[in-house]
Amino acid sequence: MAVQSWIDVLKSSKKTALLTDGKRKIHYLFADGKEMAEEYDLKTDELVVRRWRHKNAIGAVGQWQVEVGDPIGGPDASSSSTVIKENCSNPIFMRRDTKTGFQWRIRNLPYPKDVFTVSVDPSERCIIVKTTNKKYYKKFAIDDLDRCQLPLDCSALSFTHANNTLIVSYKKPKEILILEQELLKELKKIKGPCEGDADCKTQ
């Protein structure tokens, strides 16, 4: 079963932990060289950050790619290596999960709710967001479901709109909830150093 395969991959990866800033930070190193970094809120156990890093064809380590959480550096951060900056009024897409659902926030969308259509495309395994005024269009996958090879369910999808932000929610299937509970038990067994300890190993 694909769900069990993914939990086995997670369990067999090399993991290091660090407790700091009210978060449990976990770094995974997989057998194929990929890296994943996660951060969990220590009070709620909610996942607040997940990032991935891959090696390219010649073995060089790439940049961290955000799957869950705010974009690296934040949407308004300036970078000395970037000459052209994205307009701060452009839509900003990010994923913020809850304990029971996957959730995406798209900021800077100042249109009324009835302009938006949010749907599931089972054949392409993605969620599609579009507007009737043709001002916005976005397709995105649910990586967790893809990794576990679980089908998409139209009835699990919902959305709301407030303060120029579209919030798209997808209820987590029971297989994902069980996987997350099992993984959290494993992560809590890792005795990572606390903030201020010597020899803290981080990514």
d(CA 140, CA 5): 23
Confidence at residue 58, expressed as pLDDT on a 0 to 100 scale: 73
Six-digit token string for 92: 């900003």
pLDDT at residue 201 tops 80: no
- Give the position of tokens 């967001």: 129
For the cut 50, the answer to whether the pLDDT of residue 75 exceeds it is no
pLDDT in tens, 136-182: 999 999 999 999 999 999 999 999 999 999 999 999 999 999 999 99
CATH assignment of 1-77+88-189? 2.60.40.790
Does 77 score more than 70 pLDDT?
no
Read off the pLDDT band of 23 (50, 70, 90): very high
Predicted TM-score (pTM) of the model is 0.82
Ramachandran category for residue 69: left, alpha or beta (phi over 0 → left; psi -120 to 50 → alpha) = left
